[in-house]
Each structure stands twice: as C-alpha cells, then as structure tokens.
Amino acid sequence: MNQVLLFAGTIEGRKIAEYLSSNHISVYACVATEYGESLLPKSEYLQVSQERLDEGQMADLMRRLQPELVLDATHPYAVEVTENIRRAAQKTGCDYQRLLRAGTMETDETESSRCVYVESAREAAEWLSRHEGNALITTGSKELAAFTEVSDYEKRLYARVLSLPKVMEQCAALGFTGAHLIGMQGPFSTALNRAMIQQLNIRYLVTKDTGITGGFPQKEEAALEEKITLLVIGRPLQEQGLSYMDCRHMLTERFQIRVRPQIALIGIGMGGKGSMTVQADAWCSKADLLIGAGRMLQHVEHSRACVYQEYRAEKIAEYIQNHGEYEKIAILLSGDVGFYSGAKKLLALLPRETILYPGIASVVAFCAKLKVSWEDLYLTSAHGKNSNLVGCIRHNSKVFALLGKENQVQELCRKLLLYGMEEVRLAVGTRLSYEEEKIQWGTPSDFINLETDSLSVLYVENPHADHRITHGVSDSQFLRDKVPMTKEEVREVSICKLHLCRDSVIYDIGAGSGSLSVEMAGLAWEGEVYAIEKKETAVELLQKNKERFGVDNMTIVAGMAPEALEELPAPTHAFIGGSSGNLKEICELLLRKNPKVRIVVNAITLETVSEALNLLKEHGTDGEPEIVQITAAAAKQAGPYHLMMGQNPVYIMAFGGTKA
C-alpha cells in the first residue's frame, strides 16, 4: 500500500516526493508531463504516473491505492484539477491536504522574491521601471502598449507574440523591432523558455495567470531554474493550505521521520552587505532554515528559506530538536564564530558534526581600515558584559574592544581623563560595513561628548602602558592621611599568598587606605576588587587612591562586614585586614558564598591568630593552611648613619582552595 498519493505539479511537490521516498515512505506521484516525471528522483519507494486523470479516475485510483494521505501539490492556477482532487478525496474518505506555493497565501510580495504579483500591465511596467535589466514580455500584443512607458524599453524589453503579420505590424509600430520582437506559436516548453532567457540575458519574465493550458508552469519552471524573477499579472486563487515547510513538518510528525540535519554556524561578518564570505553565503543560499537575531536575518535574505528569529543557544537547540523537517540549517552569528561569539555555547548543545564557517571579524576589518597590525593587540569585549576597559588600556600598548551600549566612548573618555590618561589615542568606528560607517581619531578630551550607538568598536594606543608582571608599589606613593595602611613588605607577602588570577573577584575587608585594594586591582585587571570599609574618612581616602592609580575595577563599599558583603558577587579571593571582632561571621559568609574561596588573614594579636586557627578546625578547608610570621625593618637615616627601624610582627594566615 502506498502511504502517500501525491499530485506533484510544482517544484515543491517534487521536493516532497524526494523527501518522503528518501526516508523510505512509499509515494505514488501523479505528474502532468513527461518532463515533470523526468525531474523526479529514482527510488524503489517512488512510483510515478504521467497519466492525466479526471475526477472519476482520481477516485478510482484512491480506492485502489488506499493511501494514508492524499497530498495536492498541483499548481495554484490549476483550479479545476485541485477541485477534482478534493472532491475525489471526499468521495473515497481519504485524508486530503493542500500544499500551497510560496507566496500564494500572501498578497504582498517583497521585491526580492522570485515571484512578484501585480494587478495590471501598467503596474508591471511601473515595476520594471524601478528595476534594471532585460525583460521578456509573454502577455501577448493587446497590452503591449503599456510597456512603452518603461524607460529604454526599446533596448531592455523583448516581446514574444503570435507570428501573425497584423500582430507583428502593430508591435513594430509600438517600437518593438528586430531581435526585440519574437513571433512564435506555442506551446513553449521549459527548455525553450530557458534557452530564450539565456540567449537574451533576461532578468524578468512577464506573464499572465494563464494556468496550465497557457503554459504558465513551463514559464515558472524556467524562471526558477534560471534564478530570474517571474512578474505575474493577476493573482492566483487565494486558498487555504500548508506552506512547503509546514507540510514537511506535518509529514515528519505523521510518519515519525527522523532526519539528522546538516547544521552550520555562520559568521556573517560585520553585518553590511558584502561582509559575508562566499562560502558562508553559499551555505545560506541552500539552507531551508535560517536562525539568528533580527539584525542578522535582515542581511541574509534567501526567499525560499524559513526563518526562526532567536539568539539564545538553549532555545535554538530546542527548536532544532522539535523540528525534524529541516535538512540544512544555517545559524547566523555576528562577526566571526571564534571571536566573542555565541558559537561556544551552541557547540555544546548541537551535534558534533556541526560545521563552522568563519566570518570577517570587526577587529580584522577595522585594523585594515586604520592600516595598523593586529597581531599584538589586546582583544576584549564590553558587549553585554562588564569590562575594565581602563585597566586594559593601562596595561597594554594597543587595545581593541567591541562596545555594546550607546555613548560608551564618552563614558570611557571621561574616566581616562579622571585617571590622568589623557595622552592615549583612540580610533572609534561606528556601524562598520554599513552605508553610514564612520571612523574618527582623537584623544579622550576630543570624545567626551561623542554620541555613538551600540554597533561601535574601539582601538586605543597607550604609549605609557604599564607592562610590569610583578606587583610592588612603594608606601610613599599612596595617599594615607591618618588612616591605617598595611606596610609594603607585609602587603607583598599577603598578595603572594592569595594566589590571584587575572580575572579574580576579590574582597578587601577592612580596606583602610586601599593599598592592598589598589595593588590587587592592578594585578586582577580583568576581574573586580571590592574594598569594604566602615570608617567614613577611610572611604574618602579609598576614592582618592582609586583615582590616583586609575583602578576602575575597584569598587568601594561603605559598611560593616559581614553585612556589607551580603549583596556582593561571590568572591574567588578574600583578604581580611580588619574584622572588628567579626572574623568568625565573616569567614562563614565567605565560605557560604564560595566554599573554595581563597582567604588570607592578617593578624597582629595572638588572640586573632587563635580565633582563625579555631575556625579552620571547625570548618575545614582545601589543603593545609599556611601560617607565616613576618617582622620587617626599614632603614631610617639618623645624621650620617642609617638605623633599622623594626615594624610590628604580623601573622599571615592563608587557607582555602583555588577559584571556583
């Protein structure tokens, strides 16, 4: 028993036949011509007939085959044929579904569509006037006068009319002469239509809704295969039915077809036309599903592909899992798939066979426009996340950054001036690859009022970048006033025991003047330092030292620990220089936020050391605790001599694991 009886009068019908038979679903396909039969795939699951059937013969065929489904994929102009199939299915009790062509369910066609519908010959002429290229007019001689309104019609338009002397004279009088006037008697096959299109370099084929008897399917077939636009005067009957992909979805679920789709992650470049690679564009042109954010989908237009607007990896993977009808899928990603792209999350959720096609990253294009090399750039992104751009610029001679919000450049430049970094040079690129692309050079003072949109990039040169790979700031460089400060020697040992990373999230509890906060912020310049301090005078001094050293990733938190820590992000490291008697509560909160947090405690009194050791025994931590007692002495000049002046001994206790 054939599972599907398919009336396949369109290219969509043939694609459905191929889809079903390739998935071992038996199909009996009826076509109208020998040419239509030749286009169908050869398969043991596909039986083809080119016999023309009336309603009664269709009903007899349905009774004989007893198909699970009758699928009508005939041409939209074949109104009588569709009615015969529908009535025959009703008489025999067969399940009937109508497959509609792309565009026949909508009245407004986009100008990029391969099939454009207009109401009259005058509208067709107006449409051609707005589009460059040659057109073949196949509507006959009666309405040919309307096309004389097209600019340069004598050179651009070719009229195909009946080869009658009177008709030829009338057309010549309108200005259609020589090779631009073709007198021929139909019918015209698809092959002949294609030959004319190729010979005359035709981009638009103009026709009426002539149906099967008027050779419309052969014209449409030729236009599709030559990839030209079919300009149709008169609209097809508005029917109810399934689109091609809706039909595929229905068949996939009905027959439990399991297709393993080909999936590619496509870097579309910066977004403007022409920024995609040829390889990426070729995949998109053959895909039957395009997935991406709205902005990306706007720049990858392929009229026969379905579209799913989404950027979240989990939602994309779920959609693909639930829609097995798609065989070739393109997931569009901005820029390059390996540069701050969503590809990383997607690859973890998609099949291993997923292909990646790189795009032209904005850093590559921007540096080319600036005529600077990018192999020694520090690359970062402030798109959709916090980024310490000031720290990146302070520590690197050349920085490239993707920006992610409006007016971000003016905000950055104000900070650079605040932190005394007025000598850096910046290049700002907005809307790269678009018509309104703009590139500007300047200093921070030039850009403090610059308005930019979210599609911006930044290149910065810092001739005074701090390339030090070790810490160690002299005590004399800090503003201190009367606020306590951890001495330089103790500070450096304490920082060493913290085992910081470049992107650590650090609490400095009891920050005082901020000497430790400043040094840690310089080391962890891709991370964040929270300086917690309860004294108002110390908080003011913290702000001054933050500005003095330009550590923009240092956040000052005024308040008492542990209460002031509750709303902060989980720490990877914590330094406790002053606990105000709350050491136990502070450590418990730190370990609750992150059981693997690395903690360093500085203590002067033996009681604090004892309390810290008891906490270690009570809670336990990864690895053996480290306990160091340090006594430092610094030389002080006394007349012609130097005396060593001893500092108070300090106990440094370090415990806990690495960054979680």
pLDDT digits (tens, 9 = 90+) for 390-427: 999 998 999 999 998 889 999 999 999 999 999 999 99
pLDDT on residue 106: 36
Binning pLDDT at 50, 70 and 90, where does residue 109 land? very low
Q: Is residue 440 part of a domain?
A: yes
Tell which of 331, 360, 389 closes a domain: 360
Quote the CA–CA distance of 339 and 400 in Å, as a whole number.
12
Q: 518 and 491 in contact (C-beta within 8 Å)?
A: no
- Does residue 554 register a pLDDT over 60? yes
- Does residue 110 register a pLDDT over 50? no
- Does residue 241 register a pLDDT over 90? no
- Does residue 327 register a pLDDT over 90? no
Across the range 103-110, mean pLDDT stands at: 38
pLDDT on residue 565: 94
One domain for residues 489 and 454: no
Quote the CA–CA distance of 206 and 264 in Å, as a whole number.
37
Q: Is residue 110 part of a domain?
A: no
Q: 263 and 280 in contact (C-beta within 8 Å)?
A: no
Quote the CA–CA distance of 489 and 85 in Å, as a whole number.
93
Q: Is residue 109 part of a domain?
A: no
Instruction: Count CB neighbours of 513 within 10 A.
Output: 24
Q: What is the pLDDT of residues 619-634, one digit of tens each?
A: 666 567 888 888 888 7
pLDDT on residue 660: 40
Q: Is residue 193 part of a domain?
A: yes
> Residue 125 sits in a domain of what CATH number?
3.40.50.720
H/E run at residue 634: strand 633-638
Between vectors from CA 276 to CA 275 and to CA 279, what angle results, nearest 5°?
150
* Lowest pLDDT segment from 90-94, 274-278, 561-565: 274-278
Q: What is the pLDDT of residues 137-157, one digit of tens each?
A: 998 888 899 999 998 899 999
Q: What is the pLDDT of residues 68-97, one digit of tens each?
A: 999 999 877 677 889 999 999 999 999 999
The candidate with the shortest Cα–Cα distance to 287, out of 318, 328, 240, is 328
One domain for residues 539 and 636: yes
Sheet containing 229-233: order of strands: 115-118, 229-233, 202-208, 134-137, 157-161, 181-183
Across the range 263-272, mean pLDDT stands at: 87
Q: Is residue 246 part of a domain?
A: no
* Residue-range definition of the domain harbouring residue 127: 115-233
Tell which of 360, 386, 409 closes a domain: 360
Binning pLDDT at 50, 70 and 90, where does residue 211 land? low
One domain for residues 450 and 544: no
One domain for residues 219 and 268: no
One domain for residues 596 and 618: yes
Sign of the alpha-carbon torsion through 43, 45, 49, 53: negative
- Does residue 205 register a pLDDT over 90? yes
Q: What is the pLDDT of residues 463-488, one digit of tens each?
A: 998 877 667 777 677 777 777 777 78
According to the 3-state scheme, what is the secondary structure of 384-400? CCCCCHHHHHHHCCEEE
Total domains in the chain come to 5
> Residue 431 sits in a domain of what CATH number?
3.30.950.10
pLDDT on residue 38: 74
Q: Among residues of the chain, what percentage have pLDDT more than 90?
A: 52
Quote the CA–CA distance of 247 and 98 in Å, as a whole number.
9
pLDDT on residue 124: 93
Q: Is residue 315 part of a domain?
A: yes
One domain for residues 385 and 499: no
> Residue 595 sits in a domain of what CATH number?
3.40.50.150
Binning pLDDT at 50, 70 and 90, where does residue 265 land? very high
Binning pLDDT at 50, 70 and 90, where does residue 111 land? very low
Q: Is residue 288 part of a domain?
A: yes
Binning pLDDT at 50, 70 and 90, where does residue 108 land? very low
pLDDT on residue 119: 84
One domain for residues 438 and 513: no
pTM, 2 dp: 0.63
One domain for residues 119 and 93: no
- Does residue 604 register a pLDDT over 80? yes
One domain for residues 355 and 376: no
Quote the CA–CA distance of 305 and 114 in Å, as a whole number.
12
Tell which of 461, 490, 511 closes a domain: 461
One domain for residues 540 and 577: yes
Phi then psi dihedrals of residue 266, to 5 deg: -110, 120
pLDDT on residue 105: 35
Q: What is the pLDDT of residues 334-392, one digit of tens each?
A: 889 999 899 999 999 999 999 999 999 999 999 999 999 999 999 999 887 778 899 99
Residues 6+ apart with CB under 8 A from 559: 532, 534
Surface-to-core class of residue 34, CB atoms within 10 Å of its CB (0-12 exposed, 13-18 middle, 19+ buried): exposed
Ranges assigned E (strand) in 191-248: 202-208, 229-233
pLDDT on residue 472: 72
Q: 624 and 606 in contact (C-beta within 8 Å)?
A: no
One domain for residues 611 and 561: yes
Residues 6+ apart with CB under 8 A from 382: 389, 401, 402, 403, 404, 405, 408
Q: Is residue 244 part of a domain?
A: no
One domain for residues 484 and 531: yes
Which tops the pLDDT comparison, 129 or 270? Answer: 129
